[in-house]
A = this chain, B = another copy of it.
Amino acid sequence: MAAFVWTGLVTLLALFVYFWTIGQVSRARTRHGVEAPSTDGPPAFQRVLRVQVNTLEQIVLFLPGLWLFANIWGDHQAALIGLAWPIGRVLYAVTYYADAKKRAAGFGLALFGTSVLLVGSLIGLVRYLLGI
């Protein structure tokens, strides 16, 4: 594990950001009086819920990409690129909570990080196969 300390820390950071979006839904349920199992509520509640669902959708893409990249290109490289994800997702959440139309920048930053990790991993694996 010593070989992947920074990738491990970025993983935990991403999980804490994701966990925070879940906690926001609990708080929004109370604030807007939306009792489980219902997910119907005013737009302000829908935005909080969509942030959480979207963060779930994206972390499933991010974490495997991060770890593939770390195993191929190294711990520091993966962690540095991977940092774009938690930063982007916090920006995404905060802007989306205020106004659904402003969510693009944070979404794009996180997705950029994920894309570099996935495409970089693909390049690394193909290089292995070709022996170059």
Residues in chain A within 8 A of chain B (CB atoms)? 1-2, 5, 8-9, 11-12, 15-16, 18-19, 22, 35-39, 43, 46-47, 49-50, 52, 56-57, 59-61, 63-65, 68, 71-72, 96, 100, 103, 118, 121-122, 124-125, 128-129
Evaluate whether A61 and B100 lie within 8 angstroms (CB atoms) in the complex, with A9-B125, A68-B8, A128-B1 already known.
no
- B59→A60 contact, CB < 8 A: yes
Evaluate whether A15 and B47 lie within 8 angstroms (CB atoms) in the complex, with A22-B57, A100-B35, A121-B8 already known.
no
Report B-chain residues with C-beta under 8 Å of the C-beta of A38: 46
Evaluate whether A36 and B60 lie within 8 angstroms (CB atoms) in the complex, with A12-B122, A118-B15 already known.
no
